[in-house]
Every structure is written in C-alpha cells, then in structure tokens.
Amino acid sequence: MKISELARLTAEQLRQGGIGEARLESELLLCYFFGLSRVEMHLADRAVTADELAGFAALVERRLNRQPLAYILGEQEFWSLSFTVSPAVLIPRPETELLIEAVLARIPEPTTFAGAILDLGSGSGVIPVVLARELPQARLIGVDISPAALEVAAANAQRHGVAERIDWLAGDWFDALAPVSRFAFVVTNPPYVAELSRPGLQPELAFEPPTALFAGADGLDDLRHLISQSPDFLLPGGGLIMEIGYDQGETVKTLLRAQPALEAVEIIKDYAGLDRLATARKI
C-alpha cells in the first residue's frame, strides 16, 4: 500500500469513528508518523512497509479511542505559533486568542509597555508566552498549581525565545505570590466548566486534566475566588481579563460589579456570539 492510499483509508476509518475533520487528521497523523511535511507527503508518495503499517495502526487506534490529536502529535498551534502540549496541560483553544487580543487592545504602545502581567493557571503557557512576544519589554509571571504543567510552559517559553522575561510559580492562584505584588494586568483562563455538565461532554475532554476544566457544580468556583482576590493584586487602573464560559456572562458581571474596587465591567462575546471574556479595571 502507498502512503496516499493509507491516507484515504485512515480518513475513512476516522470518519466512521465519528472524528469530524477526518481527512485533515489522517494527513496530520501520517505526517507526524513519517516525519514529513504535508507538501513532502504528497510529493514523495511511496510504498509503506508492514512494520510502518503496524506502527501507524497503533497511532490511529489511539485517536479512535478519542485521545485528542494534540496529545498524539505533542503539538498545538496557537496565535500562529507551535506549542508543545502533553496530557499535563489543557490543549490551547482558539477562543483564548480573544483574551490576548483584549490585553493588547488595552496597551496603546506595545513596544514600550514595560509593565508586569500576571497569568493565573498558565497550563501550557500560551498566554504569557504570546504576551511576552507581543510586548517585548513586559515582564510576566505565570502561576499554575501543577509543577508538571509549569515544565511544559517553561519549555514553550524557551522554544519561543522569551524565557528570560517570564517567571513560573507553582501554587494555588494568588497564594503563589508575595502579598505585596501588584500588576498592570491580571489575566486568566481558569477552569469554568460546570461539573454537572461533565456526562454530556465530548469524549476527548476526558483526557485533559480535570483541574484545568472543572470548577464546582456551576463552573464558577474558581472565577468567584479570582474575582474576590484580584483587586488586591492590581495597580490602580490595572486590568482584569478572564476567560469565562459561554453562558456565564450575566453571573460574572454581577460578581465583578459587587467588587467596590473594580469599575468598567464588560462582557465580551466570541465570534460564535457566546460569552467568552469578562473584563474590569481597578479604580
């Protein structure tokens, strides 16, 4: 069998297994397995050996068992950069690029901005790494409760040349910091999925760290904590920018408005028209 034929058969297998972008995933798996780019794969079609066939079948089996493609490939694209991912971290989602855009929209002079930014629950580190690249003078702190996640984050900072401007701290939200720390921005993509919705979720989510996804019965446990603590860690005029769940806008708005030290509360929707970010400013 040739690679091109294997691509077609694999796509069919994935489609029957209920995988949405079956053809694309088939090609990505083949490229990964054979160590080829997509262009190379199309140009250098050749016969597949029996050993290769067996090795590749094992990879496809993992995907059919609904292991996320990003964990199999060990890579996920975010902000047009390639990030290392492992099952120790949540796979970066495209929606989270909106959070980056919201931060950048609040900084009139990105090249000279030399403030400090705190990212809580960094996971793979995409938020601090991308902000460090977009804000070449900024200093960043990334916090995560999982040391294994911070290893992935630090590797990504290294990979993208911003390691010297990001400090990674292991700890439980603000407990990781000295109480005197004050930031120009506090940003976070915390867990916000309702525990109660767990049974109805895509099977792939079962492979991701539950602590990165779930936050109590209504999904708001961590957001409540972050909203109550963040005013103490923001400079006057500093910005709080949080990713939230698709239906949490109204509740989060109320929680933010109940904080006397915060103003300018806003809920921002994503391109699908769903609640995605909550922002506020320290008075």
Q: How far is the CB of 229 from ligand GLN (least distance, A)?
A: 18
In the shown chain, the binding pattern of residues 136 to 175 toward ligand GLN, with x for contact by CB under 6 A and - for none, equals ----------------------------------------
Amino acid 186 reads: V
Which residue among 117, 126, 186, 193 contacts ligand GLN (CB under 6 A)?
193
Contacts made by residues 172-175, CB under 8 angstroms, sequence distance 24+: 172/145, 173/120, 173/121, 173/143, 173/145, 173/222, 173/225, 173/226, 173/229, 174/120, 174/143, 174/229, 174/230, 174/232, 174/233
26 binds ligand GLN (CB under 6 A): no
| 133 φψ region: left (φ > 0), alpha (ψ -120 to 50), beta (else) | alpha
Cα gap 205→209, rounded to integer Å: 8
Helix H or strand E encompassing 73: helix 69-73
Q: How far is the CB of 204 from ligand GLN (least distance, A)?
A: 9
Cα gap 13→51, rounded to integer Å: 19
In the shown chain, the binding pattern of residues 79 to 118 toward ligand GLN, with x for contact by CB under 6 A and - for none, equals --------------x-------------------------
213 binds ligand GLN (CB under 6 A): yes
Total residues binding ligand GLN (CB under 6 A):
9
Cβ-based nearer residue to ligand GLN, 27 or 208? 208
Cβ-based nearer residue to ligand GLN, 174 or 192? 192
The packing angle between helices 249-257 and 221-229, to 10°, is 30
Cβ-based nearer residue to ligand GLN, 68 or 231? 68
Q: Is 203 helix (H, G, I), strand (E, B) or coil?
A: helix
Q: How far is the CB of 29 from ligand GLN (least distance, A)?
A: 22
Name the site residues for ligand GLN (rule: CB under 6 A): 93, 189-193, 205, 213, 243
